[in-house]
Amino acid sequence: MLTKPVSPLRLPISNGGFANNEVVLDTPVVLAPMAGITNSAFRTLCREQGAGLFVSEMVTARALIERHPETMRLITPGEGETPRSVQLYAVDPKVVGLAIKMLMEENLADHIDLNFGCPVPKVTRRGGGSALPYKRKLFSEIVHASVKAAAPFGVPVTVKMRVGIDPEHPTYLEAASAAADAGVAWVALHARYASQMYEGKADWSVIAKLVEHLAPTGVPVLGNGDIWSGADGVRMVEETGCAGVVVGRGCLGRPWLFADLVSAFNGESNRAQPTLFEVREIMFRHAELLVTFFESEDRALRDLRKHMAWYLKGFSVVRELRAQFGMVSTLAELRGLLDQLEDQPYPTAVAESPRGRNSHGKPVSLPANWLDDPDEIPAITIDDSVSGG
């Protein structure tokens, strides 16, 4: 339980329909973008649990200005979704400026988050994601261009980053200072190096160091890494002094994690621990939302299949039935399978253990000679036109 109440997280917005000119997150919890996961259907499911801000899947700035159909669909908000939060990946200050200008002029977003944390090779080998902060001048130019493009519309810009490329090349302190100087609303830190991918435990001590480092600027720090329960969120805030938490893999198959975080941050003792019968209704709700998102029952149910093992983790389900969930193709079939489940209490110990991507660490894929000179502004590498991380 928190020893003192956590302060609301504020996103200052000058216009865009908010009477008080800012978005106030009473529970300072943000859903991290996850490729292939955080579409509007999943964001809606998480929002229904009552917490914070929910960011779209990462899209590339280039794909936006080219109006790539899949990218435009990815940034489409769910019904009633506010604020509309879009995460961008870019390697070119001019391109990101144009993309944000487009989003602003067409009133497509209320908040821009810049991705400097993605460790996926197809991103880093082009100098993007977690590779980019090493090129500190380019990093600064991209953040400044983003804030400048969004400022006339009163839309806040935030950044998400990792500790660095690897232990020999940490970047987070210098990059965070540059982001603060550019005028970002907050900095979110995933407490792992890019070389770690998702292995091992996140080192929350670096979040505490960043909080102290940015304290003179007044720019809040959000912590990310290994939030598996409401208690974990509270512990991160207590141990690091961060202003809020960013949740990624912990909510896979567990959108109720946000309700658990709300309860924990409010100092309440009740936990969000649904029975299997309650979980099955959330699963069906997810399927219905995906049908609306994809406008195709077949595609929606194919997409839902990857969530099945996460939803059922820790529950006792016969092998044959688990296999059928992994091949479900219609809402009617899903309903029939769900109705065969026997109710069970929430398997706390197993359900609140690590889940999702557990990639082993490996050297980061980088452009040739990327580490030679951090002050060099490289020839711009064109980013992918296909979004989604």
Catalytic positions: 118
User: CB–CB of 133/110 below 8 Å?
Assistant: no
Q: Scanning the structure block, which residue is given the tokens 């000179």?
A: 373
Instruction: Choose among 43, 20, 45, 155: nearest CA to 99.
Output: 155
Strands 9-12 and 22-25: antiparallel
Q: Scanning the structure block, which residue is given the tokens 């598996």?
A: 228
User: CB–CB of 225/349 below 8 Å?
Assistant: no
List CB contacts of 377: < 8 A, sequence separation 6 or more.
Answer: 135, 137, 138, 141
Strands 157-162 and 29-31: unpaired
Which residue stretches of the chain are H helix? Answer: 40-47, 61-65, 69-74, 93-105, 121-124, 136-150, 172-182, 205-214, 230-240, 257-265, 276-294, 297-312, 319-325, 331-338, 348-351
| Dihedral angle sign, alpha carbons of residues 21, 47, 224, 72 | negative
Distance CA 288, CA 332 (A): 11
Phi, psi of 178 (to 5 degrees): -65, -40
Q: What is the DSSP string of 230-266?
A: HHHHHHHHHHH--SEEEESGGGTT-TTHHHHHHHHHT
Distance CA 319, CA 349 (A): 21
Distance CA 114, CA 90 (A): 8
Distance CA 139, CA 164 (A): 13
Q: In a 10 Å sphere around its CB, with 0-12 CB exposed, 13-18 middle and 19+ buried, how is residue 304 labelled?
A: buried
End-to-end Cα distance, the chain:
35
User: CB–CB of 27/52 below 8 Å?
Assistant: yes
